[in-house]
């Protein structure tokens, strides 16, 4: 199977959870003019992004935290989570991809 990206391990969370900080290393002579985004979309409809966050540049790569405010927008479903590198040339490259299972959080009773 030909692959242009690396798989990240499947993850699970509750709706409203904050996910761990993701740090993505990029091997390049220079990251000047480059950016990275994390995109979370339903597995059944991967063209429809529910979450699209710009990652923060750090030495040697990028980092991002998907917060509780972000995951609160997700319903119980299976999602595709991908990291997209946008080069200084404007070309977009999917670098990492994996599955995120979101479960609905239990609601408190009266």
The domain covering 6-103 belongs, at the CATH homologous superfamily level, to Immunoglobulins (2.60.40.10)
Residues 15-28 pLDDT 10s: 999 999 999 888 76
pLDDT score at 67: 96
The residues spanned by each domain of the chain are 6-103
Q: What is the pLDDT of residues 63-100, one digit of tens each?
A: 999 999 999 999 999 999 999 999 888 888 888 999 99
For the segment 24-43, what is each residue's pLDDT rounded down to a tens digit?
A: 888 767 778 889 999 999 99
Q: What is the pTM (predicted TM-score) of this model?
A: 0.86
Output DSSP code: residue 15: T
């Amino acid at each position: 199977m030909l692959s242009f990206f690396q798989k990240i391990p499947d993850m699970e969370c509750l709706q409203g959870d904050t996910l761990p900080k993701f740090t993505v290393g990029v091997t390049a002579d220079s990251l000047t003019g480059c950016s990275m985004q994390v995109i979370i979309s339903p597995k059944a409809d991967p063209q429809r992004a529910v979450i699209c966050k710009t990652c923060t540049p750090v030495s040697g790569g990028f980092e991002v935290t998907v917060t509780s405010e972000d995951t609160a927008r997700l319903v119980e479903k299976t999602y595709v989570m991908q990291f997209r590198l946008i080069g200084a040339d404007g070309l977009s490259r999917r670098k990492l991809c994996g599955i995120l299972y979101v479960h609905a959080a239990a609601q408190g009773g009266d």
